[in-house]
Structure 1
Amino acid sequence: MPHHVAPSLPSSLLDTPPDLSALPARERILTAAHDLFYREGLRATGVDRVIATAGVSKVTFYRHFPSKDDLIRAFLAHRHARWMAWFNEALARHQARQSEAERQQRPLAPLAEALSEWLHAPGFRGCAFINAMAELGGGLHEALALSAAHKQDMVQAIASLLPAGPEGLALAEAAGLAADGTIVRAQTHSGAIDPALAALRRVLHALEDCRPPGP
């Protein structure tokens, strides 16, 4: 399997649709916030900037989102749904490209290939949930809960590549931690992406090789 796959993420994962005016007001606000929050950060993006980008009035904005915290919660839920839809599709797509022998020997390879797509895609700015925790800390309790749920769903998606049971889930937990480390390292600068992915593949190989023999 090739180590570098050309990015094939849907544009909706990272980019704001060019014509926000075609969307209903709430979706327009949320789409604008998604792009701004992910690209520029939660604290750096003010409500007025979101309102201007979305092309709505303040009255309309506050009708849908009474506070910035409400918008942040909605952004994280929206980001989770969009990212997980892509992630599950990417894992399945790369697993389908493996031979049966590759699936048995290197079941975690689709994880590295999926992350390679995302990390090399234009607009990559790291994990929105890791970024949110770095910015907010414990300042928004619901954000902590949403981030924890996101990471757990990510682990469950990775576990789908492995045999069911406690051993597979434990391996998926370890692979998820390695994936998060790769995302953070890749975010530092563009030259860090390929070395981070190479390190991830070494970790995944080590995890696969330490599995107990099958029945």
Structure 2
Amino acid sequence: MSELSASGERLLEVATDVFYAEGIRATGVDTIVKRAGVSKPTLYAQFGSKEELVAAVLDRRRRARQQALSRFLAESAETGEQRLLAVFDWLAEGHGRSGFRGCPFTNAAVELPDAEHPARAVISDYKNWLRDTLAWLAADAGLTDPEGLGFDLLLLIDGANARVVVADDRTAIRRARGAAARLVFCARVLGPEA
């Protein structure tokens, strides 16, 4: 996507907030342009379609989250297994914020079942990056089967996010951290048979 105008940036900011708070499918283009204070032609000139706007919103979120977690890990005094589990602590900060409605990528995937939707590639990129980051941290900690552990830990994270959506359970990520600690212990002590 080329550089956005001030109106394009405003559309992206408004769409980010509204899609997350009210839902992608429930929010029409008319709502976005009205709240952004721009015209429909401006939206289409900047993004081409609502689908591309959704993809741009998620791509911006993806880049911001990747940068934030990378910065958090770089600044962390934790090492090895502690660093891996600290990812859950970082996520818990978001789970505790007012207005948190679960993972924006998972929520979008539920709303956008068409595998050809341009946002689906962004969702996959983010989830794969998070899984790979968890696997890299597991390998860095010297744990057995880091790839498998990365998948398992992502399942815990996705499950905690689902609990927020289903039951507004803001403590699920803390329980997921406890389960992650047990998986990490098994990966260290029992090896690949765990």
Question: Is 1:123 the equivalent of 2:105?
Answer: no
Q: Residues 83 and 137 of structure 2 are in contact (CA less than 8 Å); yes or no, is this contact kept in structure 1? A: yes
The within-5 A match list for 1:124-139 is 124-138=100-114
Q: Residues 187 and 193 of structure 1 are in contact (CA less than 8 Å); yes or no, is this contact kept in structure 2? A: no
Pick aligned residue for 2:84 from 89, 102, 108: 108
Question: Which structure shows the higher helix fraction?
Answer: 2
1:122-172: per-residue Cα shift (whole Å, max 9, x none)? 221111111112112126433222211110111122234332488223212
Q: Residues 88 and 157 of structure 1 are in contact (CA less than 8 Å); yes or no, is this contact kept in structure 2? A: no
Aligned CA distance change for structure 1 residues 209 and 69 (closer, same or farther; 3 Å): same
Give the Cα–Cα distance (whole angstroms) in 2 for the partners of residues 198 and 122 of structure 1. Answer: 17
Residue aligning to 1:78: 60
1:30 offset after TM fit, Å?
A: 0.9
Give the Cα–Cα distance (whole angstroms) in 1 for the partners of residues 22 and 71 of structure 2. Answer: 27
The within-5 A match list for 1:164-183 is 164=140, 167-183=145-161
Q: Residues 106 and 205 of structure 1 are in contact (CA less than 8 Å); yes or no, is this contact kept in structure 2? A: no
Give the Cα–Cα distance (whole angstroms) in 1 for the partners of residues 51 and 108 of structure 2. Answer: 12
Of structures 1 and 2, the one with the larger relative CO (CA 8 A, separation 6+) is: 1
Residue aligning to 1:3: none
Give the Cα–Cα distance (whole angstroms) in 2 for the partners of residues 113 and 45 of structure 1. Answer: 32
Question: Is 1:184 the equivalent of 2:162?
Answer: yes
Q: Residues 25 and 60 of structure 1 are in contact (CA less than 8 Å); yes or no, is this contact kept in structure 2? A: yes
Aligned CA distance change for structure 1 residues 139 and 157 (closer, same or farther; 3 Å): closer
Give the Cα–Cα distance (whole angstroms) in 2 for the partners of residues 141 and 36 of structure 1. Answer: 19
Pick aligned residue for 1:152 from 119, 128, 132: 128
Q: State the TM-score, normalized to the length of structure 1.
A: 0.76
Give the Cα–Cα distance (whole angstroms) in 2 for the partners of residues 104 and 30 of structure 1. Answer: 38
Q: Residues 106 and 208 of structure 1 are in contact (CA less than 8 Å); yes or no, is this contact kept in structure 2? A: no
The worse-fitting range, judged by mean Cα deviation, of 77-86 and 47-56 is: 77-86
1:51 offset after TM fit, Å?
A: 0.6
Q: State the TM-score, normalized to the length of structure 2.
A: 0.83
- Amino acid in structure 1 at the alignment position of 2:90: A
Residue aligning to 1:68: 50
Give the Cα–Cα distance (whole angstroms) in 2 for the partners of residues 81 and 208 of structure 1. Answer: 28
What RMSD, in angstroms, separates the aligned Cα atoms of the two structures?
Answer: 2.3
Q: Residues 55 and 119 of structure 2 are in contact (CA less than 8 Å); yes or no, is this contact kept in structure 1? A: yes
Q: Residues 15 and 57 of structure 2 are in contact (CA less than 8 Å); yes or no, is this contact kept in structure 1? A: yes
